[in-house]
């Protein structure tokens, strides 16, 4: 009697490392990675951020080394965040040409502006004494339209400092259209806009708020998306694209892969995802305890984000991962 064997054997596609590499549907490349960097005013030396092992509060001097290393690693870009010594209700430091973020942008643009995309966070939360992403109304709510005026001024200041791409992370209605109009009116149609379209009110932002020394009072649920909502993420992305966004963002990444896939299936422009501080910190903590394999886990998380549809990923591991990929 003739033995019955499987007619189809998918395992042949996994039989060796060269075969698996050849058949891989999703690939990682250093140029698809963007490194977020924190620059703290008033520090003489870089200092570790305790809740994010391996991540630093940079000085302007140490920033030079970090962006040079990022460019040498072949990264696609760096995203800069500034932490000022003094804050006020309007976030005045955000539009001050000598504010920490604008100074840091000039440093980065001078060092590596021709080698990677120098990007800046366009949001007021690091600069306000109340920690919200916008201007407050008398009743304590965030005034959407008054905030847009501040964003327009921020955009012009950041463009003047040398930012090539502005990351609109504040989640105000109409922010992309307002900033695009301001830039175009000032003759700066060359500056790209990244719309943080589907940014959720997530618990995974916890270590980031430590990193930017957030003064937040209350929460951001009136402007960031409800984690329960999937369709709303796609809708926000569509609106940002209609307003002129060159790229749209889903943030966080790992808990929102369904939203990321939805946006990627819809968007005619590049779609990015931000692997946020809490996602980073969880992997680092588990690896430090020996519960997971650190390198394999990091690569698996990034591959999963790319597989879901991200054209590029903001990750605190960007430079390290680029070294692994280039080494292979």
- The SS3 assignment for 83 reads strand
Catalytic pick among 251, 253, 257, 321: 251
What crossing angle do the helices spanning 294-307 and 318-327 adopt, rounded to 10°? 100
Query: 198 φ, ψ to 5°?
Result: -110, 80
Q: Which helix (H) or strand (E) holds 271?
A: strand 271-274
Catalytic pick among 87, 180, 199, 234: 199
d(CA 303, CA 297): 10
d(CA 118, CA 97): 17
Is-contact 236 276, C-beta < 8 A? no
Query: 269 φ, ψ to 5°?
Result: -110, 165
Listed residue (154, 166, 152, 156) closest to 77, CA to CA = 166
Catalytic site residue 290?
A: no
| Angle, vertex CA 123, rays to CA 117 and CA 124, nearest 5 | 140
Catalytic site residue 96?
A: no
**Tokens matching residue 187:** 């003759």
Which residues does 198 contact at the CB level (< 8 Å), separation at least 6?
A: 225, 232, 233, 234, 236, 237, 248, 249, 250, 251, 256, 259, 260, 263
DSSP type of residue 262? H
Q: Which residues are catalytic?
A: 199, 251
């Amino acid at each position: 009697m003739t033995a019955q064997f499987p007619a189809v054997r998918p395992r042949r596609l996994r039989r060796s490392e060269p075969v698996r590499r050849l058949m891989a549907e999703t690939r990682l490349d250093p140029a698809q990675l963007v490194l977020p960097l924190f620059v703290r005013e008033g520090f003489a030396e870089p200092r570790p951020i305790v809740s994010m092992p391996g991540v630093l509060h940079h000085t302007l001097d140490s920033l030079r080394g970090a962006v040079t290393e990022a460019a040498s690693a072949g990264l696609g870009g760096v995203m800069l965040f500034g932490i000022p010594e003094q804050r006020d209700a309007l976030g005045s430091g955000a539009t001050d040409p000598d504010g920490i973020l604008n100074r840091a942008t000039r440093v980065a643009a001078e060092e590596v502006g021709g080698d990677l995309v120098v990007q800046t966070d366009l949001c007021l939360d690091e600069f306000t004494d109340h920690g919200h992403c916008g201007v407050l109304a008398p009743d304590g709510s965030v005034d959407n339209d008054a905030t847009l005026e501040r964003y327009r001024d921020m955009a012009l200041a950041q463009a003047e400092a040398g930012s090539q791409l502005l990351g609109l992370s504040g989640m105000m209605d109409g922010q992309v259209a307002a900033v695009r109009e301001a830039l175009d009116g000032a003759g700066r149609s060359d500056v790209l806009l990244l719309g943080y379209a589907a940014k959720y009110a997530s618990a995974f932002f916890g270590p980031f708020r430590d990193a930017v020394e957030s003064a937040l009072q209350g929460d951001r649920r009136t402007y960031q998306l409800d984690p329960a909502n999937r369709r709303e993420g796609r809708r926000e992305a569509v609106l940002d694209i209609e307003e002129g966004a060159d790229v749209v963002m889903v943030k966080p990444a790992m808990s929102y892969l369904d939203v990321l896939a939805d946006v990627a299936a819809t968007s005619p422009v590049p779609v990015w995802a931000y692997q946020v501080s809490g996602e980073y910190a969880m992997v680092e903590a588990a690896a430090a305890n020996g519960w997971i394999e650190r390198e394999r886990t990091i690569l698996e998380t990034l591959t999963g984000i790319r597989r879901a549809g991200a054209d590029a990923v903001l990750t605190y591991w960007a430079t390290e991962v680029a070294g692994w990929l280039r080494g292979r």
